[in-house]
Amino acid sequence: MSISVETLTAALKKSKALKNPERLDPARPLPAQGVDSLEMVSIYLAVEENFDIKIPDEDANALITLNDLVAYVEKKSG
């Protein structure tokens, strides 16, 4: 499955994991952009639900940018 940052942000917006995910810089760490730990968990859950993958805790710690999440989804669903 090939996804893009736009596909990911649309999924996050649809699931209400974040209010304005399209405003985020895909290359900057999400916590540096004001995304707190509870929102990060919501993001991981939304990604799991929307793309039918599981994100183990040990992998989640490395997924800190939208670009990281896109690459992870492509790797796990491909």
52 included as an active-site residue: no
Angle at 26 (CA atoms; ends 21, 28), nearest 5 degrees: 110
Nearest to 40 by CA among 14, 11, 67, 12: 12
| The two structure tokens encoding residue 36 | 């707190």
Q: What own/partner pairs with CB < 8 Å and gap ≥ 24 does 53-58 have?
A: 53/77
User: Active-site residue among 36, 52, 57, 68?
Assistant: 36
Query: Active-site positions?
Result: 36
